[in-house]
C-alpha cells in the first residue's frame, strides 16, 4: 500500500506543476553602484542616485506590476489546464440486523472499500474580441509605465545635477566669504598699524573691527550652507544625510555648449512624460474598444479526461476501462447585464477624453518648459558677461581705494565699501557661473535628453 500511495502522490505533483515566463527587468534588489573613491563629478552623483534613489526604485517596481497586469490579460489566449486526483477509503463496521418473523439476529463483518480517481481538463478561448482589446490596452499601459520610469530617472538626474551645482556654488561662496574675512583682517591690521603711528583716527580701527565681525558672521553662514547642501545631495543620492560626500570643485567654462535650436522638436520626440501621455491615451482608447466589444458573443472550447475505479491501477490496461472523455464548445451571448456594459462604456469614453486632455496639457507644458529653459540659458550667459565685467571693475576699485587709504587721501569707509563691493562681485560671478550649469541641466530635462 505504501508504494501505491507514493505513486499516487507523484501523479498529483506532476499534474499540479505549471510554468510561467514573466517579461522582466531584472532583480530590483540588485546591488547598487559602489561609491567611487575620491571627489565625485556630476555624472558620478547621477549614476549613484539612479541606483539608490527611492523614487527610481519605486518606478522600477511599477514596471513589474504593469508587466504582471499585461501578462494577466493574455491568460484567455492560452489554454487553462488543471488536474485533480482523489483517493477515498470507506470502512464499514459490523452491522446487526434483526428479522422479527424468524426472531433471528444477523451480524455482518467489517468491510472496507476504496475509490481512486483522477481527471485532467483544459479550456481555451476561441473568440473574445473584448479581451483582445484589453490585451492591446494593457500593452500600451506597460509602454506608458516604462516611459514614466524613464521620466522618473530623468527627473532625479535633473534634481541631482541641480543640487550638485548648488553644493558647488555654496563651496565657492564659502571660499569668497573666507577671502572677505581675510581682507577684513588685513584691513584691521593696517588700520591698527596706522593708528599706532598716529596716521588715522581710532574710528578707522573700530570700523575695521565691525567689518571683520560682519565678515566672520557671513563666513559662518556660508560654511553652514555648504553642510546643508551636501546633506541635500546625499539624500537625493539615496545616501545617509551625514555622508561625507566630496565633489569636484569646478563650475566649468564661462560659455555653454548647449545648442538650443530645435528644442521643441527634440522634446516632442523623446520627452518621456509626453511619450507616456501618448501611450496612456492609446491605452484608454483600447479600453473603450474593449468595453464596446463586450457586447459581442464569445466562444470557448473545453476538453477533459477522467478515470475512476475502486482499486489502484496496476498496469496500463487498467486505464482502458472506467474512463470518460468530454469535449465541448460554448457560446456566450450577453443580452442584459443590468446596465453594467453601458456604464463601463461611458466610463471608458470619459477616461479616453481625460487622457486626450492630459496629452494636450503635456504638449503645452513641454513647449513652455523648452521656452523657459532657452530663456534661462540666455539669461545665464548674459549674467556671466555682466558679472565678469563687474568683478574686474570691483577689483580695480578696491586696489585704488587701498592705495588712496595708504597714502592718506582716502577714508576707511571708502575702503570698506570697495571691499564689500568686491565680495559681492565675486559672489555674483560664482552665482552666474553656477546658474549657467543649472540652466544647461534644465534644458536637458526640458528636451528629454537621454541619461548617459
Please tell me which residue, 383 or 261, carries the higher pLDDT value: 383
Helix (H) or strand (E) holding 41: none
Q: How many domains does the chain have?
A: 1
**Among 372, 439, 433, 381, which Cα is nearest to 161's?**
439
How many other C-beta atoms can be found within 10 angstroms of the C-beta atom of residue 114? 14
d(CA 13, CA 257): 65
225: domain CATH number?
1.20.1600.10
Q: Specify if 280 maps to a domain.
A: yes
d(CA 234, CA 238): 6
Q: Specify if 382 maps to a domain.
A: no
Q: Specify if 146 maps to a domain.
A: yes
Residue-level pLDDT at 15:
46
223-268 confidence digits (pLDDT tens):
999 999 999 999 999 999 998 889 988 888 888 888 888 889 999 9
Domain that includes residue 214, residue range: 2-14+33-363
What is the grid cell recorded at 162?
A: 541641480
> If you write DSSP's letter for every residue of 112-177 in order, what string do you get?
EEEEEEEEEEEEEEEE-HHHHHHHHHHHHHHHHHHHHHHHHHHHHHHHHHHHHHHHHHHHHHHHHH
Q: Let me know: does 147 contact 279? Beta carbons within 8 Å.
A: yes
Residue-level pLDDT at 109:
82
What is the grid cell recorded at 134?
A: 484589453
**pLDDT-wise least confident of 64-73, 141-150, 317-326, 360-369:** 317-326
How far the first Cα of the chain sits from its last, in Å, is 67
d(CA 153, CA 60): 10
pLDDT band (50, 70, 90) for residue 439: very high
**Among 153, 173, 158, which Cα is nearest to 228's?**
173
176-210 confidence digits (pLDDT tens):
999 999 999 998 998 899 888 888 889 999 999 99
What is the grid cell recorded at 113?
A: 472499500
On the question of pLDDT at 23 being above 80, the answer is no
Residue-level pLDDT at 24:
39
What average pLDDT is seen over the chain?
87
293-313 confidence digits (pLDDT tens):
999 999 999 999 999 988 887
91-120 confidence digits (pLDDT tens):
888 888 778 887 787 877 888 888 999 999
Displacement of CA 37 from its chain's centroid (Å): 27
d(CA 367, CA 347): 30
- Gyration radius of the chain over CA positions: 40
Q: Specify if 385 maps to a domain.
A: no
On the question of pLDDT at 352 being above 70, the answer is yes
Q: What is the mean pLDDT of residues 319-333?
A: 89
d(CA 105, CA 210): 125
Q: Specify if 393 maps to a domain.
A: no
Percent pLDDT > 90 in the chain is 64
112-128 confidence digits (pLDDT tens):
888 999 999 999 999 99
Residue-level pLDDT at 35:
67
pLDDT band (50, 70, 90) for residue 34: low
Q: Specify if 249 maps to a domain.
A: yes
Q: Specify if 42 maps to a domain.
A: yes
263-283 confidence digits (pLDDT tens):
899 999 999 999 999 999 999
Q: Specify if 387 maps to a domain.
A: no
Residue-level pLDDT at 12:
41
On the question of pLDDT at 410 being above 70, the answer is yes
d(CA 32, CA 153): 15
Q: Let me know: does 107 contact 92? Beta carbons within 8 Å.
A: no
On the question of pLDDT at 1 being above 60, the answer is no
Residue-level pLDDT at 350:
96
Q: Let me know: does 386 contact 280? Beta carbons within 8 Å.
A: no
Residue-level pLDDT at 170:
95
What is the grid cell recorded at 43?
A: 555624472
Amino acid at each position: 500500500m505504501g508504494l501505491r500511495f507514493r505513486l499516487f502522490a507523484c501523479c498529483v505533483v506532476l499534474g499540479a506543476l505549471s510554468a510561467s515566463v514573466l517579461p522582466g527587468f531584472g532583480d530590483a534588489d540588485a546591488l547598487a553602484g559602489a561609491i567611487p573613491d575620491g571627489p565625485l563629478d556630476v555624472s558620478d552623483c547621477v549614476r549613484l542616485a539612479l541606483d539608490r534613489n527611492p523614487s527610481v526604485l519605486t518606478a522600477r517596481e511599477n514596471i513589474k506590476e504593469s508587466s504582471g497586469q499585461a501578462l494577466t490579460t493574455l491568460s484567455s489566449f492560452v489554454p487553462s489546464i488543471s488536474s485533480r486526483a482523489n483517493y477515498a477509503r470507506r470502512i464499514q463496521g459490523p452491522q446487526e440486523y434483526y428479522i422479527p418473523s424468524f426472531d433471528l439476529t444477523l451480524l455482518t463483518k467489517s468491510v472496507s472499500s476504496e475509490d481512486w480517481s483522477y481527471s485532467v481538463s483544459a479550456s481555451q478561448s476561441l473568440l473574445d474580441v473584448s479581451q483582445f482589446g484589453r490585451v492591446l490596452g494593457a500593452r500600451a499601459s506597460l509602454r506608458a509605465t516604462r516611459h514614466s520610469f524613464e521620466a522618473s530617472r530623468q527627473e532625479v538626474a535633473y534634481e541631482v545635477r541641480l543640487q550638485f551645482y548648488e553644493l558647488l556654488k555654496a563651496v565657492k561662496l564659502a571660499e569668497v566669504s573666507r577671502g572677505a574675512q581675510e581682507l577684513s583682517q588685513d584691513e584691521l591690521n593696517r588700520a591698527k598699524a596706522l593708528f599706532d603711528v598716529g596716521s588715522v583716527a581710532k574710528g578707522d580701527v573700530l570700523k575695521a573691527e565691525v567689518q571683520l565681525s560682519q565678515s566672520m558672521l557671513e563666513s559662518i553662514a556660508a560654511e553652514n550652507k555648504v553642510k546643508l547642501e551636501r546633506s541635500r545631495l546625499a539624500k537625493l543620492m539615496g545616501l545617509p544625510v551625514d555622508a561625507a560626500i566630496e565633489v569636484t570643485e569646478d563650475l566649468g567654462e564661462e560659455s555653454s555648449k548647449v545648442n538650443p535650436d530645435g528644442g521643441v522638436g527634440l522634446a516632442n520626440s523623446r520627452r518621456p512624460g509626453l511619450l507616456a501621455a501618448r501611450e496612456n491615451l492609446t491605452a484608454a482608447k483600447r479600453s473603450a474598444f474593449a468595453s464596446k466589444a463586450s457586447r459581442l458573443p464569445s466562444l470557448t472550447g473545453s476538453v477533459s479526461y477522467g478515470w475512476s475505479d475502486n482499486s489502484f491501477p496496476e498496469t496500463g490496461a487498467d486505464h482502458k476501462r472506467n474512463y470518460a472523455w468530454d469535449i465541448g464548445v460554448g457560446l456566450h451571448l450577453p443580452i442584459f447585464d443590468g446596465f453594467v456594459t453601458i456604464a463601463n462604456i461611458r466610463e471608458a469614453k470619459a477616461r479616453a477624453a481625460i487622457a486626450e486632455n492630459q496629452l494636450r496639457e503635456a504638449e503645452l507644458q513641454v513647449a513652455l518648459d523648452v521656452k523657459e529653459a532657452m530663456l534661462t540659458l540666455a539669461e545665464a550667459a548674459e549674467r556671466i558677461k555682466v558679472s565678469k565685467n563687474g568683478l574686474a571693475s570691483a577689483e580695480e576699485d578696491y586696489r585704488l581705494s587701498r592705495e588712496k587709504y595708504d597714502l592718506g587721501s582716502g577714508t576707511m569707509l571708502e575702503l570698506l565699501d570697495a571691499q564689500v563691493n568686491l565680495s559681492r562681485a565675486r559672489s555674483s560671478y560664482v552665482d552666474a557661473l553656477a546658474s549657467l550649469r543649472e540652466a544647461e541641466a534644465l534644458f536637458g530635462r526640458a528636451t528629454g535628453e537621454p541619461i548617459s
